[in-house]
Amino acid sequence: MSAPGPWPVIHSERHALAADLQQLTPEQWNTPSLCAGRSVRDVLAHMTATAEMTPPKFLTKLAKSRFKFGAMTDADIAQRTSGTPAEGLAAFEAQADTSTHPPGPADSWLGETIVHAEDIRRPLGIAHEYPTDAVLRVADFYKKSNLLIGAKNRITGLTLRATDADWATGTGPEVRGPALALVLAMTGRPAGLAGLSGDGVGMLQSRMPVEAVWSVE
């Protein structure tokens, strides 16, 4: 029997994130996220754009941006941050239960939902407990993926072991810690390293990008 689809968790986690952001001050909306050069408001705008996207719309927008993903993302964020933060949050909430998405496997959108939520929450000091099965599903997806984020290359030659779940992957010097911290490190978030230990942490740290990876699709 195939695994159930991730969309119920995606929808639930979008609603949880929106609830956490209801009382942010203007200053908090401008807090730098874990993505270099992006505020928490920018990241939420990107999540909204992704939730609104369809494969045809994605390809059309990418072509208009001369096939430059960064330029397309910049345009989407600019459009969705032109109003007030409250309007941006309302737009995100309006898309919370949609299942439309750009091209790509469904697990990539679960990954986006969890990782980008942490890009927002961690700088704001907001703690959140994600479903363990969902975090492990994302870890299993990223360990095989080099598209855009390069997680497979980043963890090659290392053993990653979760300390809060029965999950491990790879061979070599060990990196251990909470599954969520492992996922953040796999996707190029140096903030995830703070929760990790083991002989392989130095190697993993050396593979972190100069600037945090923006896309996790």
Whether residue 212 has pLDDT greater than 90: no
Across 72-76, 79-83, 212-216, least confident range: 212-216
- Fold observed for domain 132-206: Nonspecific Lipid-transfer Protein; Chain A (3.30.1050)
Mean pLDDT (the chain) is 92
> For the segment 192-204, what is each residue's pLDDT rounded down to a tens digit?
999 999 999 999 9
Q: In what order do the strands lie in the sheet with 159-162?
A: 168-169, 159-162, 174-177
Residue 68: Cβ-neighbour burial (10 angstroms; 0-12, 13-18, 19+)? exposed
Whether residue 98 has pLDDT greater than 80: yes
Which has more pLDDT, 105 or 123? 123
Provide the whole-model pTM.
0.92
Across 118-122, 128-132, 147-151, least confident range: 147-151
Percent of the chain at pLDDT exceeding 90: 76
Rounded Cα gap, residues 186 and 59, in angstroms: 27
Percent of the chain at pLDDT exceeding 70: 95
> Rounded to the nearest 5 degrees, what angle is found at the Cα of 188, between the Cα atoms of 63 and 2?
75
Rounded Cα gap, residues 59 and 64, in angstroms: 9
- Mean pLDDT score, 85-102: 96
Whether residue 4 has pLDDT greater than 50: yes
> For the segment 153-174, what is each residue's pLDDT rounded down to a tens digit?
999 999 999 999 999 999 999 9
**Domain ranges in the chain?**
7-124, 132-206
